Structure 1
Amino acid sequence: MNFNVKQHASNRFRELIMLLSMTVFSHNAIAEPLDKSAIQFVGPIAADMQLKPYQTEHNDAIINNLLPSLRHSAKSINVFSETIHWQSFNNVNALTLGGLQALKFTASASRFSQGTLTLKGIDKAQLFINGEKQQSQQHSYELALSQGDHQIIIIAEQVANWHNVEIDYQAKTNNDRLTIHYNQTHGLSAKQLYDSPTITALSLSPDATQYITTTRYYQESSGNQARTVTELKNSNNQVVYRFESGQPSNITWSPDNNTLVYILDGQLKQLHRKTLALNVIAENIQEADDFHYYDNNSLLFVWSKSPPADDNLTKHYRGLQDRWSYARTTSQVYLMDIASGLSKPLSQGPQSHVIEDFNSKRGTVLLSRAQHTMQASVQPITELLEINITNAQTKLLGQYTTFNQAKYTGDDIYIIAGPDFHDGIGRNLPTNMLANNYDGQLYLLTKQGTNILPLSKQFDPAIAQLSVLANGDALIKVTEQDTIALYQFDLSKQRFIKLTTGLDVIEQFSHSKERNPSIIFSGTTASTPQQLKRLKINKDKATIMWDSSPISYANTDVAKLEEFNFTNNEGVEIQGRVYLPRNLDTTKKYPALVYYYGGTSPVTRGFTGRYPFNLWAEHGYVVYVLQPTGATGFGQEFSAKHVNAWGQFTANDIIQGTHALLDTYHFIDRKRIGNLGASYGGFMTMLLATKTDMFSASIAHAGISNITSYWGQGWWGYLYSGEASKNSFPWNNNQLYSQHSPVFHAEKVTTPLLLLHGDADTNVPVGESHTMYTALKLLGKDVELIEYKGANHQILARDKRFDWWDTMLAYFDKHLKDQPQWWQYLYPDK
């Protein structure tokens, strides 16, 4: 039966065929050939080819350009107007074939596996695993495959006799077994999560008839360099204009809907939307940013000035902020005339200014600035200013702490700030509790500063971003429990209305300026990848404009997700979720991973990110993610417990939640539980290691081991501690700074611990991991320390990200699966 017939068989018969076609290869003294029925074949490709690619100077380029078609085609490929169908390799009955041929199969590993794959009878070929070219020694390839599905493609250029072609596999040990099959359905991979196209920027025109998106993706050939495409599209999602020469930034639309302005190649350019004609407005705009059409003829923007390079032997600190590399850069606001290119300053002085909003009809601009550029305060004071462009008069509207954002709404002003804003008028807490000012609240500044109204005291979600609609209502992005949602604040009725987006996490949004506005937004759910959607506010029904799922995740199995909440010992419900491995067999025992953050924001339900829960489940782990006490998005009282706690409530919730998990999910092996977190979550991992032995392995990335040194040395340590350790300092509350620091209890650690850190981390300096590593090493504990060279607080570069993900899984495989081979492969004992 050929491949196409199998594809159209009944589901039951198809499953039987797939089962029979799977071949398992284990260790033998002599390599064993792969079953040809489990391999797909396509060819001849371009049978009239006079010269094979290897006979030219462009061999690799030719093969690499063909590879995507082979990787993503399921039934056939089209080459020079000819349709060539995939078929089972055992149906090939030819001595020689013209052009090129290709073989494709999936190698599934139930654990990290090593072995040798040998091509016999193929004189010239290139072999690719998951799109990455492999190097050979005399037609043999050394494989090192992590648990999961791996696509293998062989592109043959020279074969003397196809009857003699065999693919042999010899496992390194009896445990390095591979299952070979051609089932199109496969598990989720790391490269899918990182390389797949994602929309990184979007902007909707004021009249809602056009929009711009920037899409980023990665390819093997480009390495760490992302490929980006920016396109102007109409309301039918048709491309009107593509920015081919580079990627524009600072895109802004004219109020009359005729033009848009952007920066590209160091030039400020204007594009006419109807004619697509271009003209250059200005060229000498280095360090210019945040452009807005003030009116149809002028632009508002911020122009920064960095100090000259400092070649002195010393650096004299003028204040706490001088630890920041950008502290002495100042930014001022300018107005540029489009016709002449002339710019005039609207602000001046030693303080940097930020554009909050503007109203060209009133002739005013709303600005904010730090009161003192080098003030010694854990709660910086922000001044809110209004500048009249006509007469250049500046009006001080107020001086505020916890300030975040301001926008005009008619004659009034919306403000986002913490609960303590304006002497605490936004607080909704018992009198004995200190507010967590990361819990954003909405306020209304009326009559130009004479009165301030709290609008969200009874609204539990934490407000993060604000935009104002044409009717004066606010469109806000909020953290709501473990989701990121969009709400409309109806100003006339003083109520919040949740918009029906159909997504768990809204990443970005843009709205039109119409009276009945449209919104475009991108986001994900916990189990589905990114989508771009459009919503008309009055209808509140979202439609999909773009979906990455069929592009990059077709035929991909994703982990099943279940909600798991429990009530802690204080009677508070702690929310969480559980990701289950593919093909779960509840009669077996599975290892589990527990993930948390704890640093005042929840772990949201994004499909992917720095910590890929769906990928961990694909590697055979039950993954539990919980939202411990102290997180924003659950109400002010819940988030306020983060203040002056430093893990006190968080640790209890993690321990109690893990016990509740084990009581519910009986297929989890209690002796094989790992835990991990990053930043504050890394601090929690270290702290938990001093409080419990319930975990069998732990990982802390960029964690804090000594609260005092983080407070004094981290770039933003003292600012963050202004909330996390409010009113507490080493000299007036040394109990908090010492007894809550993991390193002061290092002797209690019994769990194997892996410390990960970027050696260029400015947020949590790498010394925090060094301190804990030193203590545990001197105590003879099981500890590992791995630094990523040149990496800051996050591991962003593609090659480092894959290595980082592999390192974490390999460490857990070693300790939770009794499979040290992957770890030894990455970090040999030598």
Structure 2
Amino acid sequence: MTLSTTWLSQSAKLKTTFSALALCALSNTAMAAAIDKSAVQFIGPLGENMQLKPYQTDHRDAIIANLLPSLQNSSDSIRVFGDELDWQSFDKVSALTLGGLQALKFTASTERFSQGSLTLKGIENAQLFIDGEKQTEKNKSYELALSQGDHQFIIITEQVANWNKVELDFTAKSELDAVQFSAKQQHGLSAKQLFDAPTVSYISMAPNGDYFITSQRHYEDATANQAQYVTELKDAKNNTLYRFESAQPSNITWSPDSKSLVYLLNGELKHLNLKNMQLSVIAKNLAGASGFQFFDNNSLIFSWSKSPTDNGKLTKHYQGLQDRWSYARTTSQVYLLDIPTGLSKILSQGPLSHSLEDFDAKNGHVLMSRSAQAMQLSPQPATELVELNLATSALTVLGQYNTFNQAKYTDDGIYVTAGPDFNNGLGRNLPEGMLANNYDGQLYLLSRDGKKARALSKEFNPAIGQLHVLKNGDALIKVTEQDTVQLYQFDLSKKRFNKVNTGFDVVEQVSYSHERTPRILVTGTTASTPQQLKQLSLGKGRAKVVWDSKPIGYKNTQVASLEEFNFTNKDGIEIKGRVYLPHDLDSNKQYPALVYYYGGTSPVTRGFTGRYPFNLWAEHGYVVYVVQPTGATGFGQEFSAKHVNAWGEYTANDIIDGTKAFLDKYNFVDSKRVGNLGASYGGFMTMLLATKTDMFSASIAHAGISNITSYWGQGWWGYLYSAEASKNSYPWNNPTLYSQHSPVFHADKVTTPLLLLHGDSDTNVPVGESHNMYTALKLLGKDVDLIEYKGADHQIFARDKRFDWWNTMLAYFDKNLKDQPQWWQYLYPEK
């Protein structure tokens, strides 16, 4: 049943009520439509024969909280103590009193941030929940602050003398506050759904394909920032065989014969026999150990790190550039552990940390990488690829490379992923004189002795990412392909890349069996659909859905529609983009818009959710344009190479011209109400754009770079990133690049209102980068705000901070693009 009425407040004193008398009175006015009881659902009695109500016990809050999820569910009925109870329209309720508990449920929808108060009349004891959060009651009244969108109200009542006298009165704070009440189940996408909904956070398939493990993660109000996990062992038919509920296992690895698995749990390395489900402890005291893999059926290979103890000195003498990293003096070595006895022996040694790349148990070889020296002074540290012969303990250096990502054995040699400059530019596919972007991953085949190498992906535009090797020697790789993340098989015999049809825009996690025709598990999303877990057999038809988050976390949810929008820039290059449209868009109206970009060396991929929730912004009434400007990987080497030594030169033009083309096509977007935002390099772009154009009406920069020199010298990884973004350029040999491309040097040109957001513990882009710009703009009398998140690093991960951060961005744009400052003033009141 979906009956809705609209209440529009014309003064702070006007009230609406569910009582028949008030409804009659309101219906005779032109100021507002009445809200009747048909807008509310009722259920009860719940637990009709309970002798004491929850408020009469010592555990009231727990009892109510445990009941709440069943009431939040959109099902038409609830079974409680064996009785089947149906939700019904509240206007059909005529009882005086009822036993047990009762509940009222309705939806409040707002087209803008709205405030007011809800008063419960005729209800002696109750608790109100809005979107699952318990509200604070004062004299039977609740102060409300509702962001734009749909909100679920649930009132759980414990004591009502006469249901015929129950009234729910809503008083608006001002005449601008507008709320629509209904009993509808369909609702718009919410921030809580995007963050809290269950996701598969880990997958692992047994070598024989007969078993797999999944970990599901979700969040809820009761546990706040603490994620909840359930890890399960399943058979090939998706039946649960074993459930890890007491804690979250990590470092899960399968035996080669698929008869057992090993994992870390509560500081113990445990062995689970899959035949009889018998558990045994292999070893303890493994702090710093990670990456366990079965070397053979009787031993494990792993990495073991050791951090230096605090020497108690008052000073720290820097030994090199990496010493700015808190973990720089931690060393890591590769060990072998005997399962029957728990005895470990070291395989690598010396002052240099070694990273395990791969191993060949049959031939007794271990492949490792290490820094060429302990503390690099060079901004381009070299990596050595080394091989250990277990029989002789001989360590052979296979090569030293300035760009290196990953290495894996195959029958014909060693696969290596690295940038185009690997092995003296072996992978370069660029015009003469153009510098390569080594974030654009390439695939190579190295001979076993390291003396010969072949480039395998020079003509393959997607950027190579995570590498796996199949039993037949082919490579299974994740790649960035334009604005998607895809899965490819590299056929080693035919030297050909074959796309694996997963049906996802963004492939997240991959696991596979070691069969001749491997079975593959994969998680992912599309731009408009939430996460799924799928299984497929390589080269055999479509993927089968094993698990889907949509019916669990997004039932009855409306999602923005998506359109592709590309344009050709001034250099004749097609610039990709996409546009999110509000699900209820009326093309006869004028809408505000948001333009989002990164502009760094990777594209903005098409994930359903993430740190920047495009679907949520569209739900809040914004048309959202995501543009992929010049310089990103995934579009070919020449496209990505234009990122080098540019610092926004091409990127700014693409964003400005793309926005103009976007406005020309979408005539229902108000060109006077367009905002822009980006983070990290995208935050740098926001500041830079503010010095170049006044086409935007409000701008947000999160963790942006305002001074390229200070970022280069102070960020933990600033000099490493600048080794590509400013290749061969330094403040002393190219001062023009470092100064004239830095936004703070042009702060006097800024006319757009600007919000600077930053974590005060950001190690990547230090918070001083926002301080630079804030100081300059304040001294210039510009419209600027600065908000820091306490304890946050470069990204905002914690649930409470994430919600506040999302709200802050939307409230800022509402203030500047919708002429609705109330939400911003509520979050940041003037003193």
Category of TM-score, reference length = shorter chain: over 0.9
| 2:33 paired residue number | none
Q: Match for 1:670: what amino acid? A: S
Q: Residue 380 of structure 1: CA displacement?
A: 1.3
Name the SS of the counterpart of 1:403 in structure 2. Answer: coil
Q: In the alignment, does 2:457 pair up with 1:456?
A: yes
The residue aligned with 2:4 is 21
In the TM superposition, what is the alpha-carbon distance from 1:388 to its structure 2 partner?
A: 1.1
Task: Tell me the distance in 2 between the aligned counterparts of 1:538 and 1:508.
Answer: 19
Report the AA paired with residue 26 of structure 1: S
- Conservation of the 8 A alpha-carbon contact between 1:522 and 1:532: yes
- 1:32 equivalent to 2:16? Answer yes
Q: CA RMSD in A?
A: 0.8
Supply the distance in 1 between the matched residues of 2:152 and 2:179 (Cα, whole angstroms). 12
**Counterpart position of 1:481:** 482
Task: Give the whole-Å Cα distance in 2 for the aligned partners of 1:601 and 1:84.
Answer: 53
CA–CA distance in structure 1, aligned partners of residues 380 and 499 of structure 2:
32
After superposition, give the CA deviation of every residue in 1:226-283 in whole Å (9 maximum; x if it has no partner). Answer: 1111111111111111112211110000001111000000000000112110000000
Give SS of 1:321's match.
helix
C-alpha distance in structure 2 between counterparts of 1:317 and 1:729, whole Å: 21
Cα distance in 1 for residues equivalent to 2:449 and 2:564: 47
Equivalent pair of 1:25/1:32 in contact (CA under 8 Å): no
CA contact (8 A) 1:27 1:170 kept: no
Q: Name the aligned partner's letter for residue 67 of structure 1.
A: L
Q: Which amino acid aligns with 2:260?
A: T
Deviations 1:267-300 (A, max 9, x none): 0000011211000000011110111100000000
- Which residue identity lines up with residue 470 of structure 1 in the other structure? K
CA contact (8 A) 1:703 1:764 kept: yes
Letter in 2 for 1:37: S
TM-aligned CA deviation for residue 183 of structure 1: 1.0
Cα pair 2:576 2:627 within 8 Å, conserved? yes
Aligned counterpart, 2:795: 794
Residue 70 (structure 1) aligned with residue 71 (structure 2): yes
Matched with 1:3 is none
- The corresponding residue for 2:251 is 250
Residues 563-621 of structure 1 deviation map (CA, whole Å, 9 limit, x = unaligned) = 00000011000000000012100110000000000110000000000000000000000
Which residue is equivalent to 2:93? Answer: 92
Which region of structure 1 is more displaced relative to structure 2, 232-241 or 804-813?
A: 232-241
3-state SS of paired residue (2:124): strand
Offset at residue 25 of structure 1 (A): 4.0
**Does residue 378 of structure 1 match 2:379?**
yes
Q: Percent identity?
A: 71
Q: Which residue is equivalent to 1:548?
A: 549
Provide the C-alpha distance between the structure 2 equivalents of 1:102 and 1:802, rounded to a whole number of angstroms: 28
Output the amino acid matched with 1:575.
K
Q: Distance in 2 between matches of 1:268 and 1:259?
A: 13
State the match for 1:785 in structure 2: 786
Q: Which amino acid aligns with 1:791?
A: A
User: Pairwise mapping of residues 45-84 of structure 1 onto structure 2 (< 5 A)?
Assistant: 45-84=46-85
Deviation at 1:81, TM superposition (A): 1.3
In 2, the alpha carbon distance for the partners of 1:74 and 1:169 equals 27
| Paired residues of 2:268 and 2:283 also in contact (CA < 8 A) | yes
Amino acid aligned to 1:102: A
Describe the SS at the equivalent of 2:744: helix
Partners of 2:368 and 2:446 in 1: CA distance = 14
What SS does the aligned partner of 2:352 have?
Answer: coil
Q: C-alpha separation between the residues in 1 aligned to 2:253 and 2:744?
A: 50
Once the two structures are superposed, residues 35-92 of structure 1 have per-residue CA deviations (whole angstroms, 9 ceiling, x without a partner) of: 2110000001111011100000100000000000000133111101111000000000
Query: Quick one: which amino acid aligns to residue 538 of structure 1?
Result: G
Distance 2:531 2:311 in 1: 44
Q: Which runs of structure 2 are paired with 1:280-679 in the superposition (5 Å)? A: 280-679=281-680
CA distance in 1, matches of 2:194, 2:712: 35
Deviation at 1:540, TM superposition (A): 3.9
Query: Aligned-pair distance for 1:318?
Result: 0.4
Query: AA paired with 2:15?
Result: A
Shift of 1:21: 3.1
Q: Distance in 2 between matches of 1:238 and 1:130?
A: 33
Which amino acid letter does the alignment assign opposite residue 624 of structure 1? Y
Q: Which residue matches 2:32? A: none
State the SS of the aligned residue for 2:405: strand
Give the aligned partner of residue 816 of structure 2: 815
Q: Which residue of structure 2 aligns with residue 762 of structure 1? A: 763
- Structure 1: distance between partners of 2:750 and 2:133: 41
Partner Cα distance (2:464, 2:767) in 1: 32
**Which one-letter code corresponds to 1:647 in the other structure?**
G
Structure 2, unmatched stretches of 5+, are 19-35
Whole-angstrom CA distance in 1 between matches of 2:470 and 2:17: 66
Work out the CA distance in 1 between the residues paired with 2:820 and 2:239. 51
- Aligned match of 1:42: 43
C-alpha contact 1:288 1:303 (8 A) present in aligned 2: yes
Q: In structure 1, what residue type is equivalent to 2:592?
A: P
* 1:114/1:144 contact within 8 Å kept: yes
Deviation at 1:22?
2.6
SS of aligned partner of 1:577: strand
1:310 CA displacement: 3.9
Q: Distance in 2 between matches of 1:83 and 1:174?
A: 43
Contact 2:366 2:389 in 1 (8 A): yes
Distance 1:26 1:495 in 2: 66
Alignment partner, residue 13 of structure 1: none
Across the two proteins, how many residue pairs are aligned to each other? 813
1:106–1:152 CA contact under 8 A, matched in 2? yes
Cα offset, 1:538, TM superposition: 2.7
Unaligned ranges ≥5, structure 1: 1-5, 7-17
Looking at structure 2, the residues matched to 759 and 23 of structure 1 have their Cα atoms a distance apart, in angstroms, of 44
Matched letter for residue 33 of structure 1? T
Specify the code of the residue in structure 1 equivalent to 2:4.
S
Task: After TM superposition, give the deviation of residue 394 of structure 1 in Å.
Answer: 1.0
Aligned residue in 2 for 1:223 = 224
- 2:392 aligned partner, one-letter code: N
Question: Counterparts of 1:292 and 1:229 in 2: how far apart (Å)?
Answer: 22
Residue aligning to 1:180: 181
Comparing 806-815 with 373-382, greater Cα deviation is found at: 373-382
Separation in structure 2 between the aligned mates of residue 597 and residue 311 of structure 1, nearest angstrom? 42
Q: Would the aligned equivalents of 2:74 and 2:185 in 1 still touch at CA under 8 Å?
A: no
* In 1, Cα distance between equivalents of 2:667 and 2:597: 22
* Aligned equivalents of 1:212, 1:540: Cα separation in 2: 23
CA contact (8 A) 1:111 1:176 kept: yes
| In 2, Cα distance between equivalents of 1:603 and 1:206 | 34
2-structure distance, mates of 1:416, 1:102: 59
3-state DSSP of counterpart to 1:615: helix
How big is the shift at 1:748?
0.1
Q: Which residue of 2 aligns with 1:11?
A: none
Offset of 1:23 from its aligned partner?
A: 3.2
Residue by residue over 1:737-766, the C-alpha shift from the partner in whole angstroms, topping out at 9 and shown as x without a partner, is 000000000000000000000000000000
For 1:735-746, list aligned pairs within 5 A: 735-746=736-747
Q: C-alpha displacement at 1:447, in angstroms?
A: 4.1
> Normalising by structure 2, what TM-score?
0.97
SS at match of 2:540: coil
- Opposite residue 16 of structure 2, the aligned amino acid is E
1:27 deviation in Å?
3.8
Structure 1 residue 454: deviation in Å? 0.1
1: distance between equivalents of 2:273 and 2:734?
Answer: 62
Q: Which residue matches 2:26?
A: none
Mapped to 2, the partners of 1:327 and 1:357 lie a distance apart of 23
Letter in 2 for 1:185: Q
3-state SS of paired residue (1:682) = helix
Describe the SS at the equivalent of 1:550: helix
Q: Distance in 1 between matches of 2:617 and 2:649?
A: 28
Q: Deviations over 1:651-694 (max 9, x none)?
A: 00000000000000000000000000000000000000000000
CA separation in 1, counterparts of 2:40 and 2:310? 61
Partner of 2:22: none
CA distance in 2, matches of 1:309, 1:99: 61
Q: What is the alpha-carbon distance in structure 1 between the residues aligned to residue 404 and residue 346 of structure 2?
A: 25
